[in-house]
Amino acid sequence: MEKNKWKSVNLHFYEAVNLKDILIYTDDKTFDYIFSLYTDYNTVVNNFDFFLKVVKIMMANGYNTINVDSFETVKFINNNLKDKLDIVLNILDDYEMINRSYIIQAEIDKCSFTIPLSYLMWGVDFDNLMYITSTSYHSNALNYNGNRYIDIDTLKKIKEIINYLKSLGKFNDLQIIIMVANYLQKNVEYIAENVDKTGKYIVKLDKKVDGLEDEVGLIETVLFKKYGLCTGIAYSTTLLLNNPTFKIDARTIFNKGHALNIIKYKDKYYYLDNTWGITRSKKEFEKAVKPVKFNANYILFGKKTFDEEVDKNYLCDNPNIYKVEDKGIRKTDILKAKSQMLDRVSFTYPENIVHPVTKIRKY
């Protein structure tokens, strides 16, 4: 698949019609109002002709995204299509942390498909570009750009960072989370341009930089160019934690105009917000929204802290969002775990700003 042929797949799962629920309908006009469809494996296997009829009506109305439960469903649909069909099969997250080598891009040749971001590091087999998505509850949840695909070269570079972090020593889960947060806080500058809102934590350049607005939400920008927005920071956090090396259950979630992470730690769920760790440090570099030292305040915090800051009604559809603890873990526990890492991990932040475009002003 070529980049310029790709169509947006960020449609809402909660707006998708379940194929199982419309099997009784016979009037084709009923299907004119289906903008996004969902099907599981058994339903589509037993009703493939009906599925295809509904999809073709959707396509005639300009819609082509079908949410599915698994790669097994993608394979069945692909293998039973007579000809290529311009549809996107959007695999929804099963929230497991398992080997995904069964997802083989080369096996799918008659349609397109996406995988959840959290699957990416677990052995997915692709040769050039792998398209990714995160379903979201609110239509403006991704009002800043974010990754729609990852290429092989980017995947290799992410693995290099993970291997570097692993080389720093053997750590427990809390220390791994701290290590990744420290890595991002130390290396990433929060930066945005032409953002239509005000507030201390939004900044923009004094002088416009061409192309900046198109890239600030990308993983590649955050990890390799060392600046970016919340979307890229949260996506990067997911990949650096949710992989076979560190095995931390991290997912990206979205609020109205903000992206962060939900983390499973000792069988309980918490928020992790490395963007806040950067932008809400009590001390920042004078010319950039970047901390001068490690900020532990937004590591594994609870609903009480988060709900005071944001509109919780606009959270994404992660089923574990309601399991987040009211209170986070104690800050003293984080600082104790950090102190036990000082012989292997540097928490000294560079005095210079890492990104050359740092002449910014706060609103």
> Could you tell me if 137 and 314 are in contact, meaning their C-beta atoms sit under 8 angstroms apart?
yes
- Nearest CA to 128 out of 149, 147, 110, 114 is that of 149
Query: At residue 112, what are phi and psi to the nearest 5 degrees?
Result: -110, 155
CA dist list (Å): 315 to 114, 116, 256, 271: 22, 17, 7, 12
* C-alpha–C-alpha distance, residues 202 and 191, integer Å: 8
* C-alpha–C-alpha distance, residues 261 and 270, integer Å: 8
* C-alpha–C-alpha distance, residues 203 and 361, integer Å: 6
* C-alpha–C-alpha distance, residues 282 and 303, integer Å: 21
- The answer, as to whether pTM is greater than 0.75, is yes
Q: What is the DSSP letter of 289?
A: B
Say whether domain 152-362 belongs to CATH 3.10.620: yes
Sequence-distant (6+) residues with CB within 8 A of 188 are 222, 226, 227, 228, 233, 274, 278, 290, 354
* C-alpha–C-alpha distance, residues 228 and 205, integer Å: 13
Domain definitions of the chain by residue range:
3-135, 152-362
What pLDDT is attached to residue 1? 42
Residue 239, H or E segment: helix 230-241
What pLDDT is attached to residue 321? 84
Strand order in the sheet with 88-91: 17-18, 37-39, 65-68, 88-91, 112-116, 129-133, 149-151
> Could you tell me if 329 and 304 are in contact, meaning their C-beta atoms sit under 8 angstroms apart?
no
* C-alpha–C-alpha distance, residues 11 and 135, integer Å: 7
> Could you tell me if 50 and 18 are in contact, meaning their C-beta atoms sit under 8 angstroms apart?
no
pLDDT tens per residue across all 363 residues of the chain: 444 443 333 344 446 889 999 999 988 888 998 888 999 999 999 999 999 999 999 999 998 889 999 999 999 999 999 999 999 999 989 999 999 999 999 999 999 999 999 999 999 999 999 999 865 544 444 445 688 899 999 999 999 999 999 999 999 999 999 999 999 999 998 887 654 444 445 566 666 777 777 788 899 999 999 988 899 999 999 999 999 999 999 999 887 778 899 999 999 999 999 999 998 888 888 777 889 999 999 999 999 988 777 666 666 667 888 899 999 999 999 999 999 999 999 999 987 765 655 555 544
What pLDDT is attached to residue 213? 72
- Nearest CA to 4 out of 145, 125, 149, 111 is that of 149
Cα first-last separation, the chain: 41
* C-alpha–C-alpha distance, residues 155 and 127, integer Å: 11
